[in-house]
Amino acid sequence: MKILISNDDGYLAPGLIALADALAPIADIVVVAPDSNRSGSSNSLTLDRPLSVYQASNGFYFINGTPSDCVHIALTGIMECKPDLIVSGINQGQNMGDDTLYSGTVAAATEGHLFGIPAIAFSQVDKGWSEVAAAARVARDIVERQFDALSRNFLLNVNIPNLPYEQIKPAVATRLGKRHQSEAVIKAQDPHGRDIYWIGPCGAQKDAGEGTDFHATALGHVSITPLQIDLTHNVQLQTLKQVLHDR
């Protein structure tokens, strides 16, 4: 099995190294990751400047671009044959509910999915890298399950509680929860007296009920949400068709 690994925290991130270490014994791995932390970059591609590929002493490739750039370049410019699977992470911090829209971790997996390759995004619920080796063991367990019953290019979003391996509860299938609107920007002044703004933290959980990713991980389970990229609102599509055509 050939696996392409990327992330959004950058090629030096402990979560990426733990994931590569966990998967190397069971697969032929290639790591292509951003040169710096690109968390929150979503699915952006760099179109206004050229990109460069470098290789670190541990064999990891790194690129001065976004997670989507990395997977795009890996698939179309670096790898001689397509990987069987793309994994992203392990991210420092949860990607649940609406986070998935902003996440570079999920975006790296999505880029592979858009190329027709099955992909899995992994995140630890809490920041700080505690129990990251346990999370990497969980990631390997999930990769080894293969999910043959799912569609051939599935896109899975996995969140793992920061617990010792023995205390992590079994994986459960979940839907994305929802958050309240994000907190307001934080306004300050730079040393020259000009207004500057920091994007504030994400909002509190709104839909964190049973069946959601928030709920499962709060109980200590690994959460696995199958994602799709078609944004079409099918109910409103029918309504819009009536509005536009039934006169």
Please, what is the minimum distance in Å from the beta carbon of residue 116 to Mn ion?
25
**Complex with Mn ion: residue 105 or 225, whichever CB lies closer:** 105
Count of CB atoms situated within 10 Å of the CB of 241: 10
Please, what is the minimum distance in Å from the beta carbon of residue 67 to Mn ion?
9
Burial 184-213 (b: 16+ CB within 10 A, else e): eeeeeeeeeeeeeeeeeebeebebbeeebb
Please, what is the minimum distance in Å from the beta carbon of residue 43 to Mn ion?
14
Contacts of 158 (CB under 8 A, 6+ apart): 89, 120, 121, 122, 123, 139, 142, 171, 222, 223, 224, 225
- Distance between CA atoms of residues 218 and 1, nearest Å: 33
Checking DSSP bridges between strand 28-34 and strand 2-6, what pairing results, if any? parallel
Residues near Mn ion (CB under 5 A) are: 8-9, 39, 91
**Complex with Mn ion: residue 39 or 43, whichever CB lies closer:** 39
**Complex with Mn ion: residue 124 or 223, whichever CB lies closer:** 124
**Complex with Mn ion: residue 9 or 131, whichever CB lies closer:** 9
Count of CB atoms situated within 10 Å of the CB of 219: 11
Residue type, 199: I
> In Å, what is the CA distance from 128 to each residue of 4, 156, 201?
25, 23, 17
Please, what is the minimum distance in Å from the beta carbon of residue 156 to Mn ion?
17
Please, what is the minimum distance in Å from the beta carbon of residue 53 to Mn ion?
21
**Complex with Mn ion: residue 95 or 225, whichever CB lies closer:** 95
What sign does the dihedral 233-231-113-157 (CA atoms) show? negative
**Residue facing Mn ion at closest CB distance:** 39
Helix (H, G, I), strand (E, B) or coil at 16: helix
**Complex with Mn ion: residue 44 or 153, whichever CB lies closer:** 44
Please, what is the minimum distance in Å from the beta carbon of residue 37 to Mn ion?
7
